[in-house]
A = this chain, B = another copy of it.
């Protein structure tokens, strides 16, 4: 116990900030941070709207929130303190912003900066910790992993991903039952567009919906492969002729041989802009044009990454665990590390949290292994199933109100009084 006890000589506050696209479980990490810090008697400030709030000295005092409000963060999607897309430039080109952060930390006695984000955030946290040392400020930086894209290095998976994976697998299965029952006279081809940017992790997760030869999804289009129109159309046709219908799951990041996103290779809207739909309507048009099949397509967009109502239990647990571990590491005096998920067994699934150097996470991108995609390019392998399946297991608890809606918490987000001159990032 003595190791985890905070030496009485150590004082100071934690600053926690959310970064980049939010997820359905990023607030579970926040709950892990705040509850672990409270247990050690350390105050947590949160930056309003991510790093921008830190730069603007817009801090939130989380000690004003009740115990039950913080507990409710464990099941509330979105970013409770606000997040932002704002990447600090290099130390050389924008040293002023880094120095401003150090000033804010000094003004509010912030000794530990916990940055909940992806690889950009890991890079920022790393630079801040280095600059603090140079400026003679004792600031420890800990990264807290998060991204639905599952593309962070070192960690076995990323909090946020498992829940999107589960939502997409469930939705693929459900919508396919619908299509199957109507195919005789209606939709023959259903196309579901999923997130994931340049990585096919979410698309791959849809493959978990199908557990037999002709089960949906029949075709997955990965951003890792160049889109082969002829092979795609041949596969759609063969599937409709054999099964009666066809479910296609397409990653938003699918590109053609010229390197263009399919989503941008479509037509023009009423204002002459490149077509706004994603890859799904482009594929649908192609299927209609070349094969004549009736189609439907869906683009759940933010619905998938905010769907706390369909979150995976293990994902919510891991999100909480990395938040809690970040505080443990910080108070133990560690610096420039990120708690990552380490898998010790696929089945039964076993995992634990360990510290990894931020330098190994920063600016790296974890690609999906080629061995996860079947040779024909349209499906997932047994190896992919072994990896993915445990991540969507279990249903995360969620309280509902009498009104039939999930009971999500809205924090007070009380502002901390400013002490410094204004600063515009």
Contacts and interface: CB of A to CB of B under 8 A. Distances in A.
Interface of A: 18, 21-22, 24, 49-50, 52, 76-86, 166, 169-171, 173-175, 177-182, 184-187, 190, 192, 208-209, 211, 265-273, 275-277, 281-282, 284-285, 288-289, 296-303, 305-310, 312, 389, 392-395, 400, 402-406, 408
Nearest to A277: B277
A207 to B, nearest CB: 12
Given A268-B267, A408-B177, A395 B403 contact: no
A205 to B, nearest CB: 10
Determine which residue in A77, A277, A404 has the highest number of CB atoms from chain B within 10 A of its CB, and name it. Answer: A404
A81 B408 CA distance: 38
Contacts of A180: 78, 82
A299 B302 contact: no
Contacts of A169: 404-405
Contact of A302 (B81, B178, B269, B403): B178
| Identical subunits present | 2
Of A78, A180, A284, which is in contact with the most chain B CB atoms at under 10 Å from its CB?
A78
Given A269-B275, A298-B300, A301-B296, A209 B282 contact: no
* Residue in A184, A272, A402 whose Cβ sees the most chain B Cβ within 10 Å: A184
Nearest to A52: B184
Contact of A405 (B49, B77, B209, B267): B209
A393 B389 contact: no
B301 A281 contact: no
Contacts of A402: 393
Contacts of A301: 175, 296-299
25 contacts: A22-B181, A49-B184, A50-B184, A52-B184, A81-B181, A84-B184, A85-B186, A166-B404, A170-B309, A174-B406, A175-B306, A178-B305, A208-B404, A265-B270, A267-B268, A269-B285, A273-B289, A275-B277, A298-B302, A299-B299, A300-B300, A310-B310, A312-B404, A393-B402, A393-B403
Contacts of A179: 302
Contact of A84 (B50, B182, B265): B182
Contact of A76 (B177, B265, B300, B306): B177
